[in-house]
Amino acid sequence: MIIDSHAHVVAPPVFYAYRANLLAAGGRYRPALGVSDAAVAEAAAGNIAIMDGVGTDMQLISPRPFHQMHSTKPDQVVHWWIEANNNLIAQTVALHPDRFAGVAGLPTCAGAPIEAALPELDRCIEELGFVGVLLNPDPYEGTGPSPRLSEEYWYPLFERLVHYDVPALVHSAGCNSGRETYSEHFVTEESIAILSLLNSDVFERFPTLKLIISHGGGSVPYQIGRWQAERLMPKFGGSPDAEPFEEGLRRFWFDTVLHNPLSLELLFKTVGTDRVVFGTEKPGSGSGTDPKTGRVFDDFKTTIDGIGFLTDADRSAVYEDNARALFPRLHARIPA
């Protein structure tokens, strides 16, 4: 079985018309939203055709990150929009329970306490049956002082994730700074997330916390030598007796959303196939065709199948076994 742990919901056009109405209303009232099962089914059918074309059996779908609007004010707009996204995901899952499972968006509003996002997390896990959450480490979307994931601000969320035994996919949202596109910001924030957490005591405080770093861990696997060196150097706050950086890196999980075979090989060699879950973010910004191969860049299964040093056991771990271990709430959804 091929489980795609990093994918986003495909929505009908009427859903984005609702987003425009929300923004126009400015939080003064909640516009009506009615998305028919027929419209959702039509959107999902296109996604399922793409999945079938690359051999994916199930996708774990979350809101499209750059549409989450976490820095939008007033906060009520964000709460209503994220709730609508999660309801749309639940509607999609209900139509195709054998092909999709839900990963919740959270209304992590810029400047608001993280506790304000927890009721929606509770609703998605307890009422909608979702199996994980999407965690944006930069609610300000590049425009303000978002707390690093190592800071106590995030502890109530970490406590709730541990309580439910659900993982979070660390994935930033939009970027409004003018310095980066949202895709560039993804890589920036994933790198900051890893480094801030490994230079903190978060994993000592929450030893069973499960965090997946999207897009293969940002820049960190590529730059690992720099961080290995700093970890051992006292003038940078390190120590010769410190835990090796590469061992700390294995506290995380990583997905395969890396669009170059050499990058995927580096990830597997750096963290081990036992810490990687299959992900495609498909359909998405990696769906362009590589002129050298004639294949789309995000046909990751074909790429992974072609990596010679991987064993059948390695591929089984990446494609299925690791996801089953990481998302225990999937057990009720898919046969062993």
Identity of the residue numbered 310: L
Write out the two tokens for 51.
């999945």
Locate all alpha helices (DSSP H) within 176-283, ordered by sequence. 182-198, 202-205, 224-232, 245-249, 261-271
Omega cis (within 30) before 244? no
Q: What crossing angle do the helices spanning 75-95 and 118-126 adopt, rounded to 10°? A: 10
Residue 220: is it exposed, middle or buried by C-beta count within 10 angstroms (0-12/13-18/19+)?
buried
Residue-level length of the chain: 336
Catalytic pick among 83, 120, 281, 320: 281
Adjacent-strand bridge partners of 103: 132
The reply to whether 281 belongs to the active site is: yes
**Can you tell me the distance from the alpha carbon of 198 to that of 231, in angstroms, rounded to the nearest whole number?**
10
Adjacent-strand bridge partners of 305: none
Q: Tell me the Cα Rg of the chain.
A: 19
| DSSP 8-state code for residue 64 | -
**Residues designated catalytic:** 281
